[in-house]
């Protein structure tokens, strides 16, 4: 669990992840979402909805150390332009940011803020969506090829498959979201899951598998789409 916290957040110290680290991704994701949901509820009682939403978006960037947002930006720069496979991987590894990354990152932040501002605070909604996104990252790491070949990120998680635990994490994510509002919560989680899968499908077609940036991108996209769907006029 400590390794999962260390891997997914700036906290927990420097710990090398191992095969069992992935088993704790759903738990850490749910805890992050519930924490942000509590902040959302508290700030909404003090400030207007737009400002409270902005503080939640800022807090999310802080507790993730911008790790997943950086993955979204890098993946957009690597996967969306017309490039060959090797060039795509090189672009995602480079520290600079291009137009695709700036555009996709800006739109993602705007949509997250707008959705949170439009919704009433839902602690369980964020718990479910954040659990969903981290569970999805773990499942991808267990089931998809690593685009950069042997070693690297994939090597740290090598070990016996424990997909049963991750399936339970997925079920837990849907249960949390349903605890917010049954119909809208389940549809929001399903939409987020589908959006995250599309990111992985795109990466599989264009670079042959996932990278750390692709995992981050799939998680942010899943959360963002889930929030947008939840904010619909049900």
* pLDDT confidence of residue 31: 97
Query: In the structure, what pLDDT confidence band is assigned to residue 160 with cuts at 50, 70 and 90?
Result: low
Query: In the structure, what pLDDT confidence band is assigned to residue 82 with cuts at 50, 70 and 90?
Result: very high
What CA–CA distance (Å, rounded) separates 119 from 185? 12
- Measured over the CA atoms of residue 233, residue 106, residue 86 and residue 215, the dihedral's sign is negative
pLDDT at 208 over 70: yes
Q: What is the mean pLDDT of residues 15-28?
A: 84
What CA–CA distance (Å, rounded) separates 228 from 12? 31
Residue 163: how many other CB atoms lie within 10 Å: 13
User: Is the pTM above the cut of 0.85?
Assistant: yes
* pLDDT confidence of residue 197: 98
Query: In the structure, what pLDDT confidence band is assigned to residue 152 with cuts at 50, 70 and 90?
Result: low
Of 89-98, 157-166, 190-199, the least confident: 157-166
Q: What is the mean pLDDT of residues 64-93?
A: 96
Query: In the structure, what pLDDT confidence band is assigned to residue 6 with cuts at 50, 70 and 90?
Result: confident
What CA–CA distance (Å, rounded) separates 154 from 69? 20
**Percentage of the residues of the chain whose pLDDT score is greater than 90:** 80
* pLDDT confidence of residue 161: 61
CB 115 within 8 A of CB 230: yes
* pLDDT confidence of residue 20: 83
pLDDT tens-digit readout, 36-77: 999 999 999 999 999 999 999 999 999 999 999 999 999 999
Of 131-135, 144-148, 194-198, the least confident: 144-148
């Amino acid at each position: 669990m400590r390794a999962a916290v260390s891997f997914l957040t700036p906290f927990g110290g420097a710990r090398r992840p191992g095969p069992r680290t992935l088993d704790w991704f759903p738990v850490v994701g749910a805890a992050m979402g519930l924490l942000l949901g509590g902040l959302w509820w508290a700030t909404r009682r003090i400030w207007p909805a737009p400002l409270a939403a902005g503080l939640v978006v800022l807090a999310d960037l802080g507790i993730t150390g911008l790790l997943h947002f950086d993955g979204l930006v890098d993946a957009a720069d690597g996967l969306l332009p017309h490039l060959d496979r090797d060039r795509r991987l090189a672009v995602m590894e480079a520290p600079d940011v291009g137009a695709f990354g700036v555009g996709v990152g800006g739109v993602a932040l705007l949509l997250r803020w707008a959705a949170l501002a439009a919704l009433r605070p839902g602690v369980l909604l964020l718990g479910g969506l954040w659990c969903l996104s981290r569970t999805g990252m773990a499942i991808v790491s267990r089931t998809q090829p690593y685009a950069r070949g042997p070693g690297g990120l994939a090597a740290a998680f090598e070990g016996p498959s424990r997909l049963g635990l991750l399936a339970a994490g997925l079920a837990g994510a849907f249960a949390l979201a349903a605890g917010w509002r049954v119909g809208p919560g389940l549809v929001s989680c399903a939409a987020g899951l589908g959006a995250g899968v599309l990111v992985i499908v795109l990466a599989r077609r264009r670079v042959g598998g996932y990278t750390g940036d692709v995992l981050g991108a799939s998680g942010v996209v899943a959360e963002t789409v889930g929030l947008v769907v939840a904010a619909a006029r049900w």
